[in-house]
Amino acid sequence: MPAYHPTIPSTENKIGGLALLPLRQTAKGSERGPAPLTTNEDIVDQSLDLFKANIFFKNFEFESSEDRVLVYLTLYIVECLKRLQKCSSKEKGLQEMYSFALEQFSLPGDSRFPLNAFFTKPKKNEEEALKQYLIQLRHETGARLVERVWSPGLTQDGKPSKWWISFAKRKFLNVSLSQTF
């Protein structure tokens, strides 16, 4: 059985091999970036929805540049869950995700980036736009993940949901973004 792929319509706009996809902007700090606005379901929603199914796969066949965004976000969600398991409240989780999104990280093409075989190095004039796009994606992903981890139906006593935190120990594609920080 193959891994699940995003159903976002394909786009010709790319930055460093990643599809420049529209985003719903719900998080503080995510308004700065090159991603166009949308009110529909976006790649962050699909990444969170497909996360629990895709995390078990050791292989992923890249079919489009949208898949690269999905894989990056899946790896980022794992790193977020590692940090959220240490947070005692939703407010602390939001603060942690905001600061984590702004921390230094490796871009595709850097020697410490784990998936260089599948990503293309951005051109010199695209590096800053790619960095801003990834920060925008990281802000949105972190904020929306916090909403799911502290969902009223899943959590007790204000603690993070064990149904999400249990995935912090998993590795997608046997790779971790933590080696890139």
The predicted model gives 157-173 an average pLDDT of: 85
pLDDT score at 30 = 67
Distance of CA 176 to the CA centre of its chain: 12
Helices (H), the chain: 43-54, 65-84, 90-102, 127-149, 162-165
Q: Which residues pair with 23 in a beta bridge?
A: 37
pLDDT score at 29 = 65
pLDDT in tens, 56-91: 888 888 888 888 999 999 999 999 999 999 998 999
User: Which of 28-37, 99-108, 124-133 shows the lowest per-residue confidence on average (mean pLDDT)?
Assistant: 28-37
CATH class assigned to 36-180:
mainly alpha
* Predicted model pTM: 0.91
Find tokens 């293309």 and name the residue.
120
Distance of alpha carbon 133 from alpha carbon 171, whole angstroms: 24
Distance of CA 111 to the CA centre of its chain: 20
Domain ranges of the chain: 36-180
The predicted model gives 166-173 an average pLDDT of: 86
Q: If pLDDT is split at 50, 70 and 90, which confidence band does 179 have?
A: low
pLDDT score at 6 = 77
Distance of CA 151 to the CA centre of its chain: 19
